[in-house]
Amino acid sequence: MAEPTKSMQYRVLLVDDDRDMISLLSSWLKDAGFEVDPVMSGSEAIARIDVFRPHLVITDLVMQGMDGMTLLSKIHRQNPLMPVIMLSGKAQIADAVKAMHLGIAEFLTKPLTKDELVARVRYTLRLAAGESDSGANFGKEIIYRSEKITQLLEQAKLLAATDVTILITGATGTGKEALAKAIHEGSARKDQPFVAINCAAIPEQLLESELFGHEKGAFTGAQTKHEGLFQAANKGTILLDEVGDMPLSLQVKLLRVLQDFAVRPVGSVRGIPVNVRVISATNTDLEQGVKSSRFREDLYYRLNVVPLHLPPLGERREDIQPLLNHFLKRVGQRDNKKRKRFAPEAVEYLASAPWPGNIRQLMNVVELCCALTNTDIIPLAMAQKALRDQPAHVQTLKDAKEDFERSYLVSVLRVTNGHVSHAARLAGRNRTEFYKLLKQHHIEPEEFRTSRQATEED
């Protein structure tokens, strides 16, 4: 970012109920070239926002009347992207950490120096302007041409620079997981784990243990302690996929985790602090779920701090052609073959086809066409056939069963740290049968063992 000059003077709204603090900070910021509007309470700040239109708000955490946290959530209800720096004493850091999770806020501990403050202000403004280090590369895996996706990615890029909780909605195959991954990759957490869990694919009893972990002996089959995915995602990002399908009994537990930033493993009385950025995704209408009491309203608001909606492919047909080209190229590279092309009539046909299975369906159609065509040019008839054979929005029962079985096996193994006999008992199968299942799915129990157990048993 260029140094703020007279032509582009950044406006900073400063909120603190301590007169001396406000004078000091104003003086520092003005000297560094910012335009400062100092106010002494949260309610004044709210009133000033629309008038002064700040690029950044700096607020004290502990204030008489409205405190910094309340102010923060009020600001973000109106301006979800407004960057906020929260000032706090060392003793209040726990609250400040919560502030980060609540929205686009960072905290700075007092006492602080002029250099610290000014550097942080510049940094935060730069992030807000989307000029983070990875900014230029943001979402480079996502192929698009439409205005809708351009705008969505611009917003996602700003959000990536923050820890704000995001809910991604969109029909099956529209790229919800791909977007969540892009946000993680574009964030400061990119070198930390990205953990995705499909809340619909795992039975209720296992899901709790998968998410939050369990203590040794927490239930039958729990012979060893198990670390949950929230802990595995510590410092990184967790994607709660198909969150709309989470059972109500777990929704309340998830809510507690989001409120306390601590998980309590099954069978434990102690909470373990976690620092995780939460993104959830759903292809069901969560609002409808709330109305019909299948989804907790309080959890809905916690997850839906910022909603991002991926429109179906049929509402962004400009993206179809670049996507076709992208997948043709990818298949060619993967198979080490000359890249095929669609005949012009085939492109025209595909560009106006209904795509109930969206991008995943389109990808499958390209695969199929490439596999079944011997020539360089894929003819219209082949495209038509492939689309007919790829009804994408309904999996075959066999595929669906297999997917389920696989996720199930993986979670029992995770929960038992790879102990086949324990896992078999949980699954209600004998060891031999269970081994056979693992083999069918090419699952290696060793991969689920922690090093300590690798030498025990089996």
Partner 1 sequence: MATRIVRVDPELKDLIPGFLNNRRQDALTIRAALAQEDMETVRILGHSMKGCGGGYGFNALSELGGILERGAQNRDSEAITNAVDELQAYLEQVEIIYD
Ligand X SMILES: Nc1ncnc2c1ncn2[C@@H]1O[C@H](COP(=O)(O)OP(=O)(O)OP(=O)(O)O)[C@@H](O)[C@H]1O
Q: Which residues of this chain interact with partner 1, rule CB under 8 A?
A: 18-21, 23-25, 27-28, 31, 62, 89, 110-114
Nearest distance, CB of residue 113 and partner 1, angstroms? 7
Beta strands in 288-418 (DSSP E): 306-310, 341-342, 377-378
Contacted by 283, from Mg ion, partner 1, ligand X, none: CB < 5 to 8 Å by type? ligand X
Residue 20 interface partner, choices partner 1, ligand X, Mg ion, none, CB cut-off 5-8 Å depending on type: partner 1
CA-to-CA distance for 181 and 138, rounded, in angstroms?
11
Judged on CB neighbours under 10 Å (0-12, 13-18, 19+), 202 is buried
Instruction: Identify which of residues 296 and 360 has a Cβ nearer to ligand X in the complex.
Output: 360
Taking residues 120 to 159 in sequence order and writing x for each that binds Mg ion by CB under 5 A, - otherwise, the string is ----------------------------------------
Residue nearest to Mg ion (CB): 177
263 in Cβ contact with 274 (< 8 Å): yes
Q: What is the DSSP string of 228-266?
A: -HHHHTTTSEEEEETGGGS-HHHHHHHHHHHHHTEE--B
Q: How many residues bind Mg ion (CB under 5 A)?
A: 1
Applying CB under 5 A, which of residues 35, 44, 177, 318 lies at the interface with Mg ion? 177
Report, in Å, the least distance between residue 262 CB and Mg ion. Answer: 27
> Considering CB distances under 5 to 8 angstroms, the limit depending on partner class, which of Mg ion, ligand X, partner 1, none binds residue 114?
partner 1
Give the 3-state secondary structure of residue 371: helix
Strand partners of residue 35: 11
CB of 427 to partner 1, least distance (A): 55
Matching residue, tokens 């102990």: 419
C-alpha triplet 393, 397, 400: angle, nearest 5°: 75
Q: How many CB atoms lie within 10 A of CB 8?
A: 11
List residues binding ligand X (CB under 6 A): 142-144, 170, 172-178, 283, 323, 359-360, 363
Nearest approach, Cβ of residue 18 and partner 1 (Å): 5
Which of partner 1, ligand X, Mg ion, none interacts with 154 (beta carbon under 5 to 8 A by kind)? Answer: none
d(CA 16, CA 74): 16
Q: Least distance (Å) from ligand X to the CB of residue 180? A: 8
Residues that bind Mg ion (CB under 5 A): 177
